[in-house]
Each structure stands twice: as C-alpha cells, then as structure tokens.
Amino acid sequence: MNEPEHHAPDWMRLGDWMVGNFEKKQDPLGRDIPPSIPNPLRETLPAVVPIAVVPLQVEVTDLLIDLQTQLTSSSKLASDINRDWARQAGELETTALRAAIQVGAFDSGWLNTWAQAWSSVYNDRLDPAQRDAFLSAATIQRRIILDSGISGRFGDIESRVDQWVASRGAEFVSMVSESQHLAMRSLLTTEVAIGSGLRSTELAIRSAVGLDAQQTRTIATLRTSLRADGVSESIIDRRTSRRAKQLRNARAHRIARTEIAFAHNFGAFEAIRDARDEGSFDEPLLKQWYTSLDERVCPFCGPLHGRIIGLDETFPGNTKTLPATFVPPAHPQCRCVVLYVTRGEL
C-alpha cells in the first residue's frame, strides 16, 4: 500500500518568491533570514507567507522575549500550585467526604468547598504572578510608545492591573471550581456504579483534586480497565494515584503558563488603551497578531499571524470557553503576542 502524502498547512509553505540563494543574517532570536522580505504590514505581501522567516518588529521582539522569560519562570509557579492541591486533598474533611460517598452524591455545598480551594490557589499563587507579568508587559509597551517618538501621556496603570486581576480571578475561580465539582460528581457516580469500596473511592477522589473533567475521566477509565484485568485494589490505587499525579503536574504547568500569558498580553493591551484614553495618539489604533515564529506554532495561530483588526475588536479563540479574545492566548499555552500599529504605519 502506498504511504499517504503529508502536506504542511498552507500557512507553512514557501512561496515562489523564496526560491534562490540567501545571504544568512542573524536576527535577535537567532533565526537565519533572507536579506530582502516584503513588508508584512503591506497589502502587497504574497498570499502565502512563511511565517518562520517574516522579520520581527523591534517591539514585538521585546514583548516575545519578555513573555518567553515569564513562561520559563512559570515552572516554580506550577510546582507551588501542585503543592497546594496535594495539601487541599489531604485537608478534605474525612467525615463529610465519606458521607458523600455513602449517599453517592456531592451536594451543592461541595461547590463552595472547591471554590474556596481554588480561590486560595488564585490569591496565593496566580494573583502575584499575573501582576508581575501584567506590569512587565505594560512597562515594555510604554517604552515602545516613547521610543516611537510619541509624547506618551499615561494614567494609573496600577488601578488597571487591580481591576484586571480582580475580574480574571473571579472568572477563573468560577470556571475551574464548577469544572472541579462536575468532575468529582462524575467520578463518584462511576465509583459507586462499579461497586468500589469506601477506602478506594475516597482515595480516588482525593487523588483527583486539581484535575479537570477529562483527566478525571481518564483516571476512572484506568481504574475500570485494571479491575477488568483482575488487578488487586491495592495495585489499582497505586497505579491510578501515580497517573493522577502526572496529570495534575501537567495541568499545573498548563494553568501557570496560560494565566501568565493572559496577564502579559493584557498588560500590554491595557498600557495601549491607557495611553489612548489619555490622548497620546492622533489617529485610531489597530492591533496585529504575532506568533512566536518557530516550529511550535500551532495550526490555529499560524493563519492568524499578521491579521490586523481594530483595537477594541476581538480575535477568534480556539476553545469553547474562549470563542473570542481581545489579545492572545487563543488557547491553553499559547505563546502569541500582539503588535499595536496606526493606519499610517500600514
């Protein structure tokens, strides 16, 4: 049988204008780029542009490098979140938990339990990390404005970060605590249906603290499969606990990176809106999506590269909970940023 042909997405294919020998030239991110490339902000750009070789504007380079620095440092944040989950799992009140298991349901009071747990994670861990990322990007964006020769007039960025963190925190806690509640209810229903003992069910629930609904289903499926294979309950508990720990670690890193990316991009966005509101610009502002310009750019964000919209318009998002967004991320662990331009720069 002939092997199927594999084609790169259209946005990754080289156009005819790229054919030829290039003089290698090092850019700030270490990529080799050809000496002459059409201006990516002009409408004369070829229909298919290999984003990996589109040169960065200086300000985008600064924002991308700063975002990457923030994301690199997110490992400690993820570890802290993981430790919080382990502590919260151990602190679940045994009597109340076993009562829920015996009746086979978590009542609405447990939603408050999960909300309090997630509020603690946000306030203790994500809030300070997001403030740092927000203010770092805002500082860079303000410097970009001044370096552009604009007599920037700025307001109180601290009040903007306070408002944004409060809004994002409430949204985040509501979303993830409800998800946690539904995941736990589903897990408990499954454990009761297959006749798990009290101890095994309690361990399964404690192990699932911090997991999302899909990860919780993964653990439930693993337990069911091991039981079908005749594996002893003690071994099932050990294997599923180990797998839950791996999934929890992955989610902690995903949350840390995504929430820092949110804060960083909104920091630059609010700095621009602040300068606009203070009268720093003579003409309307636009924003342009920029990917990280490497082989890890995803098929969703690749075609967004270079798209220009109005400052207060939205880009498409790539998740059910994020169908549209003012700025990146478009999905978990997105590494994109936005460039702000005026019509005169196009």
Q: What is the pLDDT of residues 327-338, one digit of tens each?
A: 999 999 999 999
Cβ burial 66-103 (10 Å sphere, 16+ → b, else e): bbeebbeebeebbebbbebbbebbeebeeeebeebbee
Q: What is the pLDDT of residue 192?
A: 86
Confidence of residue 326 (pLDDT cuts 50, 70, 90): very high
Q: What is the pLDDT of residues 201-219, one digit of tens each?
A: 999 999 999 999 899 999 9
Residue 308 has pLDDT above 50, yes or no: yes
How many whole angstroms separate alpha carbon 284 and alpha carbon 265? 20
> Tell me, what DSSP letter sits at residue 194?
T
- Whether residue 49 contacts residue 306, with contact meaning beta carbons closer than 8 Å, is answered with yes
Q: Break the chain into its structural domains and give their ranges.
A: 59-281
Q: What is the pLDDT of residue 46?
A: 35
Higher per-residue pLDDT: 1 or 118: 118
Secondary structure percentages of the chain, helix, strand, coil, to 5? 60, 10, 35
Residue 29 has pLDDT above 50, yes or no: no
Residue 307 has pLDDT above 70, yes or no: yes
Confidence of residue 345 (pLDDT cuts 50, 70, 90): low
> What percentage of residues in the chain have a pLDDT greater than 70?
82
Min mean pLDDT across 123-127, 134-138, 275-279 is at 275-279
Calculate mean pLDDT across residues 114-137.
93
Residue 317 has pLDDT above 60, yes or no: yes
Residue 151 has pLDDT above 80, yes or no: no
Higher per-residue pLDDT: 46 or 173: 173
> What percentage of residues in the chain have a pLDDT greater than 90?
51
Higher per-residue pLDDT: 270 or 151: 270
Confidence of residue 344 (pLDDT cuts 50, 70, 90): low
Selection from 38-47, 80-89, 193-202, 280-289 with the highest mean pLDDT? 80-89
CA angle, 67 as apex, 279 and 49 as ends, to 5°? 85
CA 334 to chain centre: 5
Confidence of residue 58 (pLDDT cuts 50, 70, 90): low
Q: What is the pLDDT of residue 40?
A: 34
Torsion of CA 76, 183, 112, 193, to 10 degrees: -140
Higher per-residue pLDDT: 283 or 313: 313
Nearest to 57 by CA among 264, 258, 341, 297: 341
HEC-encoded secondary structure of 197-252: CHHHHHHHHHHCCCCCHHHHHHHHHHHHHHHHCCCCHHHHHHHHHHHHHHHHHHHH
Strand partners, 309: 287
Selection from 33-37, 112-116, 135-139, 322-326 with the highest mean pLDDT? 135-139
Residue 30 has pLDDT above 80, yes or no: no
Compute the half-sphere exposure of residue 203: CA atoms within 13 Å on the CB side of its CA: 18
Q: What is the mean pLDDT of the chain?
A: 81
Q: What is the pLDDT of residue 144?
A: 87
Higher per-residue pLDDT: 28 or 296: 296
Higher per-residue pLDDT: 320 or 104: 104
Confidence of residue 196 (pLDDT cuts 50, 70, 90): confident
Neighbours of 141 (CB within 10 A): 24
Calculate mean pLDDT across residues 91-119.
91
Q: What is the pLDDT of residues 126-142, one digit of tens each?
A: 999 999 999 999 999 99
Residue 63 has pLDDT above 50, yes or no: yes
Residue 178 has pLDDT above 60, yes or no: yes
Contact residues for 127 (Cβ-Cβ < 8 A; gap 6+) = 165, 169
Scan for tokens 């736990």, then name that residue: 184
